Amino acid sequence: MTADKPLRADARRNRDLLIAKAREVFDDGDFFDLRFDDFARLAGVGTGTLYRHFPTREALAEAVYHGEVAALCDRARQLQAALPAAEAVATFLRGVVDHIAAHEGMARTLATLMADRSGALAEGSRALERAVADLVAEAAREGAVRDDVDTGAVLMALHGIGAAHGRPGWRTEADDLITLVLDGLRHPR
């Protein structure tokens, strides 16, 4: 399948079914318990359809990963359009923590599967970094946050939260860290 050629409606639907089923299985933490062919059956499509869209587990994981990143980036843009900039930053960062909490199994599965696909991870990281940079830059233009904080520092805090999701009490600590980041971003008056 080439990226240049648009998919027919039925092919797009089948691809979306496979990705949705993979997300569900990732969230449940059952991904490694299934044969790869089982995704086709669970999604209600044929095995040929599975392999036509995703020849490997890693290809399926990459599609799920890119979908998750795209959803987060879309959310950042929606918040930027709908809320005052400082509120958009805070809502987005807290929403990322909510996302991590809701999809812990997916995070573990994707981290395992994507460990050797650094190019795909880097692409997703760059997209997320652009979304966060846009939010922070807008808030800085409005004078609501400091303009001397690098977006990488904010992303580092998010990555740290994601990496620590297995710690006892991580959610409270994650919320506290986001509060600390937001306090650090506030423009001194």
- 36 and 108 in a single domain? The answer is no
- 66 and 44 in a single domain? The answer is no
CATH of residue 33's domain is 1.10.10
Residue predicted with more confidence, 91 or 160: 91
Residue predicted with more confidence, 157 or 32: 157
* Residue that terminates a domain, selected from 13, 37, 55: 55
Statement: residue 3 has pLDDT above 60? no
- 90 and 163 in a single domain? The answer is yes
Statement: residue 162 has pLDDT above 70? yes
The per-residue pLDDT for 52 is 92
- 61 and 153 in a single domain? The answer is yes
- 3 and 76 in a single domain? The answer is no
- 46 and 62 in a single domain? The answer is no
The per-residue pLDDT for 36 is 86
What pTM was computed for the model? 0.83
Handedness of CA 9, 124, 77, 175 (dihedral sign): positive
The per-residue pLDDT for 2 is 46
- 142 and 62 in a single domain? The answer is yes
The per-residue pLDDT for 117 is 60
Statement: residue 178 has pLDDT above 60? yes
- 118 and 157 in a single domain? The answer is yes
The per-residue pLDDT for 120 is 66
Statement: residue 189 has pLDDT above 80? no
Angle subtended at Cα 104 by Cα 11 and Cα 27, rounded to the nearest 5 degrees? 35
* Residue that terminates a domain, selected from 38, 55, 72: 55
- 135 and 122 in a single domain? The answer is yes
CATH of residue 137's domain is 1.10.357.10
CB 100: neighbour CB atoms within 10 A? Answer: 20
- 12 and 27 in a single domain? The answer is yes
- 73 and 40 in a single domain? The answer is no
Average pLDDT, the chain: 85
The per-residue pLDDT for 9 is 82
The per-residue pLDDT for 123 is 78
Alpha helices in the chain (DSSP H): 9-28, 38-43, 47-53, 57-82, 85-102, 104-114, 118-141, 151-163, 170-185
Distance CA(142)–CA(72), nearest Å, equals 23
- 130 and 83 in a single domain? The answer is yes
Query: What is the residue range of 86's domain?
Result: 57-185
Contacts 24+ apart (CB under 8 A), 162-166: 162/100, 162/107, 165/100, 165/101, 165/104, 165/107, 166/104
pLDDT digits (tens, 9 = 90+) for 105-145: 776 666 666 566 666 677 778 888 999 999 999 999 998 99
> How many independent structural domains does the chain possess?
2
pLDDT digits (tens, 9 = 90+) for 16-71: 999 999 888 887 777 777 888 888 898 999 999 999 999 988 888 888 888 988 99
Q: What is the mean pLDDT of residues 84-92?
A: 96
* Residue that terminates a domain, selected from 33, 55, 77: 55
